[in-house]
A = this chain, B = another copy of it.
Amino acid sequence: MQLLLLSSSNVYGYGYLDHAERELRARLDGRTRVAFVPFALQDHEAYTATARERFARIDCEVTQVRGAAEIEAAEAIFVGGGNTFRLLKTLYERELLDVIRARVRSGVPYIGTSAGTNIAAPTIRTTNDMPIVQPPSFDALGLVPYQINPHYLDADPSSTHQGETREQRLQQYLEENTAPVIGLREDTMLWVDDDVTTLHGRSSARVFRRGAEPIEIEPGSVVALV
């Protein structure tokens, strides 16, 4: 399996996907036909146009995914960000989870950002998104055996807001679940070759396990999460 799982497609100070252009090119490795899954946003056509323009600049042709045919024909799959619940619900409705999983397991590169990164995990239980629609299950693609929290955000010590911090939310996740979680700050991404995950990007990532203190891992590190 060849995955590239971005925390975010938009990083402060960069244009759309620009912070990850080197990794995008390396993951595609000359493949040019990219199937784009736009279901996390409401307007699929507009979202596809954005992706198409960006991928044209790295010499790739984007096809908008509507059903299994575009997945079957693709050399690479890109799943864009937005609302994770909407994305997963649509994938269930169009019966696309199995075909994506099968193609990726057969070697087709999978690139995800934000919601597209969340659904690469076993479940969407560590998404930050609002549950605006109800998918039939929180179970997702399970391409990796650990959970991911994109857009990971450190607590702001100057804030007077009393809502839970991200770390508190992830500790609540671990009260109810056993899979470890990697919190990906926005300028980071996971590079996955089969069972080996490496952290890329410009910041450390924060790893949460049940019953243990969180730890920071540095870019370039192999992420030994399970």
- In the complex, chain B residues whose CB is within 8 Å of the CB of A128: 130, 163
The reply to whether B170 and A130 form a contact with Cβ atoms under 8 Å apart is yes
Distance between Cα atoms of A133 and B124 in the complex (Å)? 10
User: Which residues in chain A, 140-164, are within 8 Å of chain B measured between CB atoms?
Assistant: 151, 153, 160-164
Interface residues on A, range: 35 or more
Distance between Cα atoms of A164 and B115 in the complex (Å)? 12
Quick one: closest B residue to A170, CB to CB? B130
- In the complex, chain B residues whose CB is within 8 Å of the CB of A10: 162
- In the complex, chain B residues whose CB is within 8 Å of the CB of A29: none
A222 located at the interface, meaning its Cβ lies under 8 Å from any Cβ of chain B in the complex:
no
- In the complex, chain B residues whose CB is within 8 Å of the CB of A177: 132-133
Write the A23-36 contact mask toward B (1 if CB under 8 angstroms, else 0).
Answer: 00000000000000
A52 located at the interface, meaning its Cβ lies under 8 Å from any Cβ of chain B in the complex:
no
| 21 A-B contacts (beta carbon < 8 Å) | A8-B162, A10-B162, A11-B162, A13-B160, A42-B175, A42-B176, A82-B172, A83-B172, A86-B176, A126-B130, A126-B132, A129-B164, A129-B169, A130-B169, A130-B172, A130-B173, A131-B131, A131-B138, A132-B173, A162-B186, A163-B186
